[in-house]
């Protein structure tokens, strides 16, 4: 019989580089950092922290993501669609396949949970 256990993780003081594809950057030199800190046993659900400095870039989500911002301000436009400005305390869902255009107005930091169809190997 397997033993079920909780896992707790403190927010990291420093996040490793998680670069944005240079072809996706449209303005500035946004620097992204992030880390996955927890993962389900089947590796299809993961959570972590992500931060980014000011700039403009595009991002297409390869997975479902739920995120909760706790620092900074970002305007996110759906490709050909609506635009939202998010800040501390805001929660958002990005469905897999969604193409977005990001304008990081103030350095942002978020907590995220992603769900992948295949196991995510770290």
pLDDT single digits (tens) 77-94: 999 989 999 999 999 999
Give the integer Cα–Cα distance in Å for 84 and 9.
30
Where in the chain are the domains? 22-115
Q: Each residue of 9-66: pLDDT tens digit?
A: 988 989 999 999 999 999 999 999 999 999 999 999 999 999 999 999 999 999 999 9
The answer to whether the predicted template modeling score (pTM) of the entire model surpasses 0.75 is yes
Superfamily of domain 22-115: Jelly Rolls (2.60.120.10)
CB atoms within 10 A of CB 28: 13
Q: Is the pLDDT of residue 1 over 80?
A: no
Give the integer Cα–Cα distance in Å for 75 and 56.
9
């Amino acid at each position: 019989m397997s033993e079920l256990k909780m896992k707790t993780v403190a927010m990291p003081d420093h996040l490793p580089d998680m670069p944005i594809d240079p072809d996706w950057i449209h303005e500035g030199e946004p620097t992204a950092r992030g880390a996955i800190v927890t993962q389900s046993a089947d590796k299809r659900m993961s959570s972590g922290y992500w931060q980014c400095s000011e700039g403009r870039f595009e991002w297409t989500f390869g997975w479902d993501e739920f995120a909760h911002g706790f620092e900074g301000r970002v305007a996110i436009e759906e490709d050909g669609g609506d635009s939202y400005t998010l800040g501390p305390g805001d929660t958002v869902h990005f469905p897999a396949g969604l193409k977005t255009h990001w304008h990081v107005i103030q350095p942002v930091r978020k907590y995220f949970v992603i769900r992948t169809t295949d196991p995510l190997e770290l």
